[in-house]
Chains A and B, each alone.
Chain A
Amino acid sequence: MAGGNDLKLLGMWASPFVVRVKLALSLKGLSYEYVEEDFSTKSELLLRSNPVHKKVPVLIHHGKPICESSIILQYIDEAFAGTGPSLLPADPYERAIARFWAAYIDDKMLAAWTQATKGKTEEERAEGMKQTLATVATLEGAFRDCSKGKPFFGGDSVGYLDVFLGGLLGWVRAYEKLGVKTFDPEKTPLLVAWAERFWSLEAVEPVMPDVSKLVEFGKMLLARAAAAAAGEGN
């Protein structure tokens, strides 16, 4: 229910970007109305609310739409500064570090991951996997630097980066079942431990997508990509 907050989230159950927003809302204890968008057809409301990108997530607050997961997260933090914990730290430098690594996750890790899973050739996918592992190794170092021995990127409690990377964990687990291992207990032990810890939090667990459903969805997407590649006759 939108309740007193007048918050509506347009989403799609499998989208890691939508999961990020759900995590943020859950951690801040904010109630909202959730609208599931059909994967193949976009609703009038979505097209009206995000005419530029026509994508989810879109957060609608008092009828005004906000798009892009990183922007929505910062909006939630700022518009509901008095409610629940803050996602971003107060110090400008620490905020810059969080934004830097968030940009890294989306620009470098996700791009590599997409190539690893959806690359058209075996060669492309292998290169994508190589890049993914390199970016994850860098993120292991980032975790060490940001957490400073504490349980989360945000320190003692969950913060912006935990939510940012946390949104991807459903797919990390699903892809593992599909044979693509992103976090390795030997190479990235801190991230493996962090992922377990994060997923089991009370505010997190109920919000995370069903991994077995993601596996099925992933298989469907991979089959579709393979068919498209075959159709192109490369």
Chain B
Amino acid sequence: MTTEPVKLIGAFGSPFVHRVEVALRLKRVPYELILEEDMANKSQLLLNHNPVHKKVPVLLHGDRAIAESLVIVEYVDEAFHELPLLPADPYERAMARFWARFLEEKCLEPLRTALFADGEAQKASMKEARESLAVVEEQLTLRGRRFLGGDAIGLADIAGGGMLAHWLGVVEEVAGVRVLSDDEEEYPALRRWAAEYRSCEAVKECLPDRGRLLSYFAAIREKCVSVANSMVRR
């Protein structure tokens, strides 16, 4: 099974696709990246392999199709045995999953509204995002290691690293909203973690060009605003 070809359906600018690319590169799994040209006009390949959500990333491994970035990352970790992304101990694995989920649900989710919505909802989301980042800051400080996963990058780092180390700066610029100030004294452990994340070879290989990312988000700004506002109404 491990010798069957691996393809990844992705789209430029997606931090979720980035997570899977990082995982594949860390595990030294060769893959073919198939980019969706226009997410407003999805390919039949994508619709066939992710009929439920119709989103990227989707991993194709032989005749298997897997969707949802963190589900894919765990699949890659379990299907390919080199360089584990999760520790062996069940309790440590539970901790890794906990932090991956926390980053996804409590940091990344509110950031969408914090950056692109307005009024009370924006203020509330910004507060939530910053409070959640403070929790991550505390955890990083407590553990005192290079990554949330320990000395090597792991699931939790993959879950939040891209967004915090690369995407956030770009999106802040496009949205005209700051989540993290320029003050280096604020969230020092988070900043160190972001630097560690960016210094990983596997990450460097698949981090999208900042200039291109900026143009991309500037072009979809309207869409981000309407998505954020529709989330608020719920």
Residues A73-126 near B (CB distance < 8 A): 74-75, 78-79, 92-93, 95-97, 99-100, 103-104, 115
Question: Which single residue of chain B is at the shortest CB-CB distance from A114?
Answer: B234
A66-B91, A68-B101 known; 17 new pairs, CB 8 Å cut-off, are A52-B135, A61-B91, A64-B91, A66-B94, A67-B98, A71-B94, A72-B94, A78-B90, A93-B75, A96-B66, A97-B66, A99-B71, A100-B68, A100-B71, A103-B71, A104-B52, A115-B234
CB pair A71–B97 under 8 Å, yes or no, is yes
CB pair A92–B79 under 8 Å, yes or no, is yes
A100 and B66 in contact, given A68-B101, A92-B79, A93-B75 (Cβ under 8 angstroms): yes
Judge whether B102 is part of the interface by a CB distance below 8 angstroms. Answer: yes
CB pair A95–B68 under 8 Å, yes or no, is no
Residues B96-117 near A (CB distance < 8 A): 97-98, 101-102
Judge whether A138 is part of the interface by a CB distance below 8 angstroms. Answer: yes
CB pair B75–A74 under 8 Å, yes or no, is no
CB pair B93–A96 under 8 Å, yes or no, is no
CB-defined contacts of A71 to chain B, threshold 8 Å:
94, 97-98, 101
Question: Which single residue of chain B is at the shortest CB-CB distance from A103?
Answer: B68
State the A residues within 8 Å of B (CB). Answer: 52, 61, 64, 66-68, 70-72, 74-75, 78-79, 92-93, 95-97, 99-100, 103-104, 115, 138
CA distance A78 to B92 in the complex (A): 11
Q: Which of A72, A95, A96 is most buried by chain B, counting CB atoms within 10 A of its CB?
A: A96
State the B residues within 8 Å of A (CB). Answer: 52, 61, 64, 66-68, 71-72, 74-75, 78-79, 90-91, 93-94, 97-98, 101-102, 135, 234
CB-defined contacts of A103 to chain B, threshold 8 Å:
68, 71
CB pair A138–B52 under 8 Å, yes or no, is yes
CB pair A93–B79 under 8 Å, yes or no, is yes
- Interchain nearest-CB distance for B63 vs A (Å): 10
- Interchain nearest-CB distance for A81 vs B (Å): 8
Question: Which single residue of chain B is at the shortest CB-CB distance from A97?
Answer: B66
A93 and B94 in contact, given A52-B135, A99-B71, A138-B52 (Cβ under 8 angstroms): no
CB pair B234–A100 under 8 Å, yes or no, is no
CB pair A96–B75 under 8 Å, yes or no, is yes
CB-defined contacts of A115 to chain B, threshold 8 Å:
234
CB pair B97–A74 under 8 Å, yes or no, is yes
CB-defined contacts of B75 to chain A, threshold 8 Å:
92-93, 95-96
- Interchain nearest-CB distance for B34 vs A (Å): 19
- Can you name 8 A-B residue pairings with CB atoms under 8 Å? A52-B135, A68-B101, A71-B94, A78-B90, A92-B75, A96-B75, A100-B68, A103-B68
CA distance A138 to B90 in the complex (A): 32
CB-defined contacts of B68 to chain A, threshold 8 Å:
99-100, 103
- Interchain nearest-CB distance for B148 vs A (Å): 14
CA distance A93 to B2 in the complex (A): 12
CA distance A104 to B78 in the complex (A): 21
Question: Which single residue of chain B is at the shortest CB-CB distance from A80?
Answer: B90
Question: Which single residue of chain A is at the shortest CB-CB distance from B61?
Answer: A93
CB pair A96–B98 under 8 Å, yes or no, is no
CB-defined contacts of A104 to chain B, threshold 8 Å:
52
- Interchain nearest-CB distance for B15 vs A (Å): 17
Q: Which of B68, B94, B101 is most buried by chain A, counting CB atoms within 10 A of its CB?
A: B94
- Interchain nearest-CB distance for B233 vs A (Å): 9
